[in-house]
């Protein structure tokens, strides 16, 4: 069959351009619908925007917009208003405008009740139910601005208030520290009574003195102590009570602390605190830090010249497990075995020593682990070999002006036994029962419980939940304790 000439062929239908036109037309129609919808929304705004309010002029000045009153932001706005109103309440009271402070407080309560109601029913606040509360609070906040409770004034007054509170807090803290120190050092009536009765027993009963073959003159306090050890059974334990007056080597020419006690400036610092205008906290000026009973721990080889190893215990500890295993611990050539306390950063060397001083900065690592006095194993053979007491004397003599450390026996101990301390397992020595909360599991596992801190268990200020740990070792059935009202 003959094909038609090209000129007479039917043109091919092109459907694609038509599809494009129809798509464009649809888009235009959709845009038109959207525009109409927007106009309808604008026209159908809530009537609350058009209503007349009592405080229209004020509201316009505050520039409260529809967006601020919309359903998804009213809760936030009410919360912000409450925060600002609370600040204005403080300022109003400071300005002695008690009536306005009361009005603000009442409106704060209204706002809080509304928020609480919405939270209880677990549905968002609507514009209609929150409108009145928001506007009433806005009115009061506007009044606050008219009373010159503006931001700058508020900040200045709050700063002044904070400064005054800080000064009050400092004063209260100083008094608290002072009275706490006094309370910590008091001798309870029951203990005083016990000392008096024991001393009377000692003088009135020659049998007690013969038990200890006592022929020397001793102080009254030691007589009470010796009477106690004579009257009670310690299951075969040898008790040796000594007094440091018998230590002939304990004199000012050998012991730096005794030499410092003779210095008038040192006496003024520790016993009156007048040489620095009382700027130094009372805890740093406590005379007990110059007591030889505290510093005798650095002279243990002289106190016990025949011993090779000792376990040292403070007088505020409770031993609840066998300590004989401590004597077989290998100290790896070190002098001191102690539990480290650097689990927290504030128990490292920089906590106790003055690292602005070149002597401290050059010789000691500030991040070195601190450790605890109160339960220590001392190898006295190594102690004597390394002349540890001489090291202690060296640092005490350089701290005569108290620039290396401020207080206590732990800082000089950290210096003296630096590089000579072997860490012990933490269960040997549990600290903190006299000032903080301690993990009950550590207490249960601990061999020695240390009531370090001011809250000793025999004092009224002792931590109540820890007192039974000490009281269970006290035989309250003893006649002397009952006579002195121990309970």
Provide the pLDDT for residue 482: 92
What's the pLDDT tens digit per position in 191-226?
999 999 998 888 887 776 666 555 445 555 588 888
What's the pLDDT tens digit per position in 220-273?
558 888 888 888 888 888 888 888 888 999 998 999 988 887 776 766 666 665
Looking at the chain, the whole-number percentage of residues with pLDDT higher than 70 is 75
Q: Is the pLDDT of residue 164 over 70?
A: yes
User: Left (φ > 0), alpha (ψ -120 to 50) or beta: where does 329 sit?
Assistant: beta
Considering only residues 354 and 7, tell me which one the structure prediction assigns the higher pLDDT.
354
Strand pairing partners for 443?
none
Provide φ and ψ at 243, rounded to 5°.
Answer: -120, 140
* 46 band by pLDDT with thresholds 50, 70 and 90: very low
Considering only residues 177 and 135, tell me which one the structure prediction assigns the higher pLDDT.
135
* 65 band by pLDDT with thresholds 50, 70 and 90: very low
Strand pairing partners for 309?
379
What's the pLDDT tens digit per position in 398-452?
998 889 997 778 999 999 999 999 999 999 999 999 999 999 999 999 999 999 9
Provide the pLDDT for residue 471: 94
Q: What is the mean pLDDT of residues 88-92?
A: 83
Q: What is the mean pLDDT of residues 454-477?
A: 92
- Cβ atoms 120, 128 nearer than 8 A: no
Q: Is the pLDDT of residue 142 over 90?
A: no
Q: Is the pLDDT of residue 366 over 60?
A: yes
* 24 band by pLDDT with thresholds 50, 70 and 90: low
Integer Cα distance of 59 and 56 in angstroms: 5
Strand pairing partners for 430?
449
Residue with tokens 């925060």: 83
Provide the pLDDT for residue 328: 95
Integer Cα distance of 372 and 363 in angstroms: 21
* 131 band by pLDDT with thresholds 50, 70 and 90: confident
Integer Cα distance of 204 and 83 in angstroms: 74
Average predicted confidence (pLDDT) for the chain? 80
DSSP string covering 316-361, please? TEEE-S--GGGGG---TT-SEEE-B-TTSGGGBHHHHS-TTSHHHH
Pairing mode, if any, of strands 421-423 and 375-379? unpaired
Provide the pLDDT for residue 284: 59
To the question of pTM greater than 0.85 for the whole model, the response is no
Q: Is the pLDDT of residue 147 over 60?
A: yes
Q: What is the mean pLDDT of residues 448-465?
A: 92
Q: Is the pLDDT of residue 123 over 90?
A: no
Which of 162-176, 430-444, 463-477 is the least confident region?
162-176
Considering only residues 62 and 412, tell me which one the structure prediction assigns the higher pLDDT.
412
Q: Is the pLDDT of residue 21 over 60?
A: no
Q: Cα 77 to the chain's mean position, in Å?
A: 36
- Taking the CA atoms of 373, 377, 382 and 384 in sequence, report the sign of the dihedral they define: positive
Q: Is the pLDDT of residue 122 over 60?
A: yes
Residue with tokens 């190893």: 309
Q: Please tell me whether residue 238 adopts helix, strand or coil conformation.
A: coil
Provide the pLDDT for residue 215: 45
- Cβ atoms 63, 145 nearer than 8 A: no
Provide the pLDDT for residue 97: 87
Kind and range of the H or E run holding 189: helix 189-204
Provide the pLDDT for residue 245: 82
Q: What is the mean pLDDT of residues 312-318?
A: 95
CB atoms within 10 A of CB 406: 17
Provide the pLDDT for residue 419: 96
Provide the pLDDT for residue 31: 54
What tokens appear for 199 in the block?
Answer: 């001393």
């Amino acid at each position: 069959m003959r094909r038609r000439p090209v000129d007479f062929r039917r043109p091919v239908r092109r459907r694609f351009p038509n599809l494009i036109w129809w798509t464009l037309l649809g888009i235009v129609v959709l845009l038109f619908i959207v525009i109409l919808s927007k106009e309808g929304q604008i026209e159908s705004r809530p009537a609350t925007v058009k209503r007349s309010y009592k405080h229209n002029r004020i509201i316009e000045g505050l520039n409260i917009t529809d967006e601020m009153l919309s359903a998804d932001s009213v809760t936030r706005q009410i919360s912000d208003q409450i925060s600002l109103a609370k600040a204005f309440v403080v300022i109003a009271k400071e300005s002695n405008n008690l009536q306005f402070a009361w009005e603000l407080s009442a409106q704060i309560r209204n706002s809080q009740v509304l928020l609480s109601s919405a939270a209880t029913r677990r549905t968002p606040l609507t514009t209609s139910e929150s409108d009145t509360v928001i506007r009433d609070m806005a009115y009061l906040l506007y009044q606050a601005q008219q009373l010159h409770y503006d931001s700058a004034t508020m900040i200045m007054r709050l700063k002044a208030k904070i400064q005054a509170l800080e000064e009050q807090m400092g004063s209260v803290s100083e008094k608290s520290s002072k009275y706490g120190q006094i309370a910590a050092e008091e001798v309870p009536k029951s203990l005083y009574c016990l000392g008096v009765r024991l001393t009377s027993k000692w003088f009135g009963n020659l049998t007690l003195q013969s038990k200890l073959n006592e022929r020397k003159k001793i102080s009254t306090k030691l007589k009470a102590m010796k009477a106690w050890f004579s009257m009670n059974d310690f299951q075969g334990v040898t008790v040796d009570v000594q007094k440091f007056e018998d230590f002939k080597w304990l004199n000012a020419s050998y012991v730096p602390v005794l030499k410092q006690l003779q210095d008038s400036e040192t006496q003024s610092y520790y016993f009156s605190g007048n040489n620095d205008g009382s700027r130094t906290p009372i805890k740093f000026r406590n005379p007990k830090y110059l007591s030889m009973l505290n510093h005798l721990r650095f002279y243990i080889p002289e106190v016990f010249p025949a011993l090779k190893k000792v376990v040292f215990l403070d007088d505020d500890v409770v031993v609840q497990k066998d300590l004989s295993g401590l004597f077989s611990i290998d100290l790896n050539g070190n002098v001191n075995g102690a539990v480290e306390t650097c689990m927290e950063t504030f128990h490292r060397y920089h906590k106790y020593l003055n690292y602005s001083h070149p002597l401290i900065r050059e010789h000691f690592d500030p991040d070195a682990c601190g450790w605890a006095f109160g339960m220590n194993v001392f190898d006295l053979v190594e102690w004597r070999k390394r002349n540890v007491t001489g090291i202690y004397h060296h640092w005490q003599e350089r701290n005569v002006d108290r620039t290396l450390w401020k207080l206590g026996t732990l800082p000089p101990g950290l210096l003296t036994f630096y590089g000579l301390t072997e860490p012990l397992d933490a269960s040997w020595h549990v600290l903190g029962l006299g000032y903080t909360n301690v993990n009950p599991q550590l207490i249960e596992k601990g061999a020695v419980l240390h009531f370090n801190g001011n809250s000793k268990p025999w004092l009224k200020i002792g931590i109540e939940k820890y007192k039974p740990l000490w009281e269970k070792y006290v035989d309250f059935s003893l006649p002397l304790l009952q006579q002195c009202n121990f309970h």
